[in-house]
Structure 1
Amino acid sequence: MIRLTRLDGQAFVLNADLIRYVEQRPDTYITLTSGERIVVGETTETVVERAVEYQQRKAMLPAFHLPAAATSLGATSATAAPVNDSV
């Protein structure tokens, strides 16, 4: 999620995974995967930087590990608790 500002000064948070593309004309337009367009006060460069930082933070999240016993019982990563390998 990235923090942005509408042209009227209202702050909001956008799911960066939904961004299709960003245009500068002269205001900054963000087109979402749904086709919806949002006009923001930030520059194109700022939106791209924040989206890239978000993707980098998301990639650094720890992965979930399933114990062998859980997978043999039909558990999925959504139902099994993460395993702490450092203990």
Structure 2
Amino acid sequence: MISLTRLNGETFWFNPLYIERLKANPDTTITTTQGRNFVVKEEEEVVIKRMKQFYREIGLLRVADKAGDGSEK
């Protein structure tokens, strides 16, 4: 889970596995796989950094990095 902040200052925990789309216009808006939208104070880059850290912690990023590496034979 990653910690995020709503525009009203409320902090909440979010499971990044449910993020389908992330965009800033100018507020960062997260769209979930269920179609719900969350607007947060954090900038896009911060949310992406936290997502990547979460994926590393659960082992998904390491698997994705290795799968995309065509240099191993």
TM-superposed CA distance for 1:31, in Å, is 0.4
Identity %: 38
Larger Rg: 1
More strand by share: 2
Question: Which structure's relative contact order is higher, taking Cα pairs within 8 Å and 6+ residues apart?
Answer: 2
Q: TM-score, normalised by structure 1?
A: 0.67
Q: CA RMSD in A?
A: 1.1
User: 4+ residue runs of structure 1 moved beyond 3 angstroms?
Assistant: none
Who is 2:2 aligned against? 2
CA shift digits 1:28-82 (9 cap, x unpaired): 000000000000000000001000100000018xxxxxxxxxxxxxxxxxxxxxx
Q: In structure 2, the residue corresponding to 1:9 is in which secondary structure? A: coil
* 2:46 alignment partner in structure 1: 46
Higher helix proportion (structure 1 or 2): 2
SS at structure 1 position matched to 2:38: strand
Paired residue type of 1:28: T
Residue ranges of structure 1 left out of the alignment (5+ in a row): 61-87
Provide the rounded CA distance (Å) in 1 between the counterparts of 2:34 and 2:4: 19
Q: TM-score, normalised to structure 2's length?
A: 0.80
Q: Does 1:25 align with 2:25?
A: yes
Question: Which residue number corresponds to residue 78 of structure 1?
Answer: none
Deviates more, 1:30-39 or 1:51-60: 51-60
